């Protein structure tokens, strides 16, 4: 059943989310046609219970779908939308039309509720905003926008009255933990794409009459990329290990820390093997390595989640650190 869903989403993204489409949307083209294709497929309701006409998946099942989204650099917040629609449906709330972004740790000041650098804010119709431990669903169109570094992101600011009137998202819990879980899986997918594209390039690019992948230094760098990509896949599966729609904060800490940690090595060696041409706008590699660096710090970098994991270790009553590590990594995951 899992393969059936992931195969279908993989085929959909391969056909509809090509690098050319990603570039067009990043350049300001309307994303409505791409979202319509995805909405029609039903994947936005993957975490909605079957009793509410969804697929009834849990976080553990969704990991493979989120990795595919990262693999294809989808320029829409589909993973976040799946999660928020799942929470809403589980509570019996109505489900809004359109893509949903996430804004954890919003601030309230001067009569405004504001969030900086909201991921995919420019292509979302709704934003799940967390303020003071409560998450509400706000219309993106009701916010004033300020530019952000990444072309699809924006800073958003709503009048307090909009926040007060917005419906609560039940079951959202700690939105930063949920967002970190999602981006651990997205990172895993993008890391694997960088590995596969770099391996293909090394086997095709000829130098001194043979593929550059035959040279020992290139093989050494490919081996390191491979190690980080595959260990990140396992870490993402640990982060998503839950049979409910509520992530485990310690498992998320392990998963997000490991996947963020892999970014610099994989991005640097991938560009090194490509002889730096991967930096150019015309070359597809930059679509993924830009996201790697961007997603590395989304919802907290590896240093933040290392601290969270360390605090959990110190607070754990087990006599051995190994006991906590065993419990956290005892996921039903496979490479």
pLDDT, position 335? 38
The pLDDT assigned to 281 comes to 84
What pLDDT score does 280 carry?
84
CB 265 within 8 A of CB 228: yes
Q: What is the per-residue pLDDT for 331?
A: 60
SS3 sequence, the chain?
CHHHHHHHHHHHHHHHCCHHHHHHHHCCCCCHHHHHHHHHHCHHHCCCCHHHCCCCCCHHHHHHHHHHHHHCCCCCCHHHHHHHHHHHHHCCCCCCCCCEEEECCCEEECCEEEEEEECCHHHCCEEEEEECCEEEEEEHHHCEEEECCCCCCEEEEEEHHHHHHCCECCCCCCHHHHHHHHHHHHHHHHHHHHHHHHHHHHHHCEECCEEHHHCHHHHHHHHHHHHHHHHHHHHHHHHCCCCCCCCCHHHHHHHHHHHHHHHHHHHHHHHHHCCCHHHCCCCCHHHHHHHHHHHHHCCCCHHHHHHHHHHHHHHCCCCCHHHHHHHHHCCCCCC
Cβ count near 246 (within 10 Å): 17
List of domains in the chain: 3-165 (no CATH), 175-329 (1.20.140.10)
pTM (2 decimals)? 0.95
pLDDT digits over 227-241, tens only? Answer: 999 999 999 999 999
Mean pLDDT of successive 10-residue stretches along the chain, which has 335 residues: 84 97 97 96 96 96 97 98 97 96 96 97 98 97 95 97 97 96 98 97 93 95 97 97 96 97 97 86 93 97 96 88 82 48
Sequence-separated (6 or more) residues with CB below 8 Å from residue 246:
59, 171, 173
């Amino acid at each position: 059943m899992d393969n059936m869903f992931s195969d279908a989403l993989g085929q959909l993204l391969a056909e509809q989310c090509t690098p050319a489409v990603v570039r067009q949307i990043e350049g300001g083209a309307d994303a409505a046609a791409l979202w319509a294709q995805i909405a029609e497929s039903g994947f936005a309701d993957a975490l909605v219970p079957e009793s509410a006409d969804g697929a009834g998946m849990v976080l553990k099942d969704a990991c493979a779908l989120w990795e595919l989204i990262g693999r294809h650099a989808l320029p829409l917040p589909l993973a976040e939308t799946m999660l928020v629609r799942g929470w809403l449906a589980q509570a019996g709330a109505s489900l809004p039309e359109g893509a949903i972004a996430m804004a954890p740790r919003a601030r309230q000041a001067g009569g405004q509720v504001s969030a900086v650098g909201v991921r995919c804010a420019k292509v979302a119709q709704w934003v799940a905003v967390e303020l003071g431990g409560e998450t509400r669903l706000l219309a993106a169109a009701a916010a004033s926008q300020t530019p952000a570094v990444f072309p699809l992101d924006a800073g958003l600011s709503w009048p307090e009255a909009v926040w007060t009137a917005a419906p609560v998202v039940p079951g959202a819990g700690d939105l930063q933990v949920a967002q970190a879980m999602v981006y651990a899986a997205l990172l895993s997918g993008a890391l694997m794409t960088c590995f596969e594209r770099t391996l293909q390039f090394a086997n095709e690019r000829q130098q001194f009459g043979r593929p550059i992948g035959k040279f020992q230094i290139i093989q050494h760098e490919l081996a390191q990329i491979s190690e980080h990509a595959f260990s990140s896949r396992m870490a993402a599966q640990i982060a998503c290990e839950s049979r409910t729609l509520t992530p485990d904060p310690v498992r998320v800490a392990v998963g997000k820390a490991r996947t963020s940690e892999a970014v610099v090595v994989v991005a640097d060696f991938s560009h090194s093997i490509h002889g730096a041409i991967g930096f150019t706008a015309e070359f597809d590699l930059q679509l993924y390595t830009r996201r790697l660096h961007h997603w590395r710090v989304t919802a907290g970098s590896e240093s933040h989640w290392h601290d969270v994991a360390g605090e959990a270790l110190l607070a754990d009553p087990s006599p051995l650190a190994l006991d906590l590590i065993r419990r956290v990594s005892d996921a039903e995951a496979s490479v």
